Structure 1
Amino acid sequence: MTQPRLIPANEYRRERWRNGFGWTREILRWPEGGDDWDWRLSIAEIEQDGPFSAFPGVERELVLLHGHGVRLHFDDGEVREVLPPHGRVRFAGERSARGELVDGLTHDFNLMWRRDRIDAEVWHRPLVGSMVLFVEPGERWVVHVLSGHAHATGSDARCDAAASDTLLFPTGSTRARYALDGGGEVLVIRLRTRGD
């Protein structure tokens, strides 16, 4: 049986960044527990200008959720802006980066994955009506509800998610089919184990 799993926003675990310059609300890491994760989802609270923590061997993607945005200044001189409504940037975790707030605190969806283990894709989509997700063996899909609401159905279970909640769609040894419906906006993330 393949069932969607609801991770409500009030269960996200809040902790300081490695370097102390902000807060993170961790949504999920996989495998769960311990520091040797393959991928990790969180919401970064950037409260002041300062350096980003280094994560060697990790790819990162940031998507602006709330606030006026942040500029990332890399040591090689590149500057990337993450601006409203849902600006995004992908970069290597070992790149030295400094965040500069445009105007006050921001909340940013933060996906990190180990590039030697995982391939990841992120899409920003309107949710109008219904869509079907086919999750292949070796994959997990995640839907983070940006606004509105979403309803996920597996083989015999249904999960209802509100804005800021997250849904996890696992698979087993065969392809899993899920239905997703509702109204609003979502981030859809596909995470695939490399080599599968």
Structure 2
Amino acid sequence: MRILRAAEYRSMPWKNGGGVTTEIAVSPTGAGLDDFGWRVSMARVELSGPFSQFAGIDRTLAVLEGDGIVLEIAGYPPTSINRVTDPFSFPADVQTSAALIGGPITDLNVMTRRSRMMHSVERLVISAPVEIRTEADTTLILCLNGEVIVPAAEPVRLGPLDTLLPEPDSASLLVQPAHETTLFVIRIGGISGND
């Protein structure tokens, strides 16, 4: 398994230049904003305004910090997202703008290239050990707050905003929180019939 520490994440400008994004992981490794297969990142949103558009990409957004946002997506009714609502999925290549509800937020963005793969994002609030399914092609477990321990020959500890990538051949993984902790479980898989 791989551990991605929050202190090692890479920061870069938004595609539209309106802010800064923190890249947690991308595939293939080193891919840019125009040629990734999948990408997981966080962004600090300081002002209301338009989202960057990504041709051929599906996107899921979750609020990690702050009061939330209202998304205005072409063809969709306005959608309010906050720290307790489910992660929200939408096409990243349609016109989208966001209005902050009560000040800046930090969000989690998961994006996959529609022609090749799909993804899901699950928020888990845990206060006791839990078994997490990891049978997807790629699974990432982001610890939002607190600390979790993954039992192993050498136990793995995840702190705030650290991410764990289990081995792709494992069906599940036990995680033990030190106290109530919020995790985001991101599962990414190829579309059948595509390489």
Shorter-chain TM-score above 0.5: yes
Cα distance, 1:97–1:14 mapped onto 2, change above 3 Å: same
User: Of the candidates 14, 19, 22, which is equivalent to residue 22 of structure 1?
Assistant: 19
Cα distance, 1:176–1:88 mapped onto 2, change above 3 Å: closer
Aligned counterpart, 1:89: 88
The alpha carbon displacement at 1:106 in A equals: 0.6
Let me know the Cα RMSD of the aligned residues: 2.0
Normalising by structure 2, we get a TM-score of: 0.87
Asked if the contact 1:5/1:159 (under 8 Å) is kept, the reply is no
Distance 2:6 2:27 in 1: 18
The alpha carbon displacement at 1:48 in A equals: 1.0
The alpha carbon displacement at 1:177 in A equals: 4.5
Asked if the contact 2:87/2:123 (under 8 Å) is kept, the reply is no
- Superposed CA deviations along residues 15-69 of structure 1, whole A, max 9, x for unmatched, are 1101111210110001211232211110011111111000111111110011111
The structure where strand makes up a greater share of residues is: 1
Task: Output aligned runs, 1:119-138, within 5 Å.
Answer: 119-136=118-135
Task: Output aligned runs, 1:55-66, within 5 Å.
Answer: 55-66=54-65
Gaps of 5+ in 2: none
Normalising by structure 1, we get a TM-score of: 0.87
Distance 1:86 1:166 in 2: 21
List, as ranges, runs of 4+ consecutive aligned residues in structure 1 with deviation greater than 4 Å. Answer: none
Aligned counterpart, 1:74: 73
Cα distance, 1:63–1:77 mapped onto 2, change above 3 Å: closer
The percent identity for this pair of structures is 28
Gaps of 5+ in 1: none
Cα distance, 1:160–1:119 mapped onto 2, change above 3 Å: same
User: Of the candidates 174, 178, 188, which is equivalent to residue 179 of structure 1?
Assistant: 174
1:115 maps to 2:114: yes
1:146 maps to 2:154: no
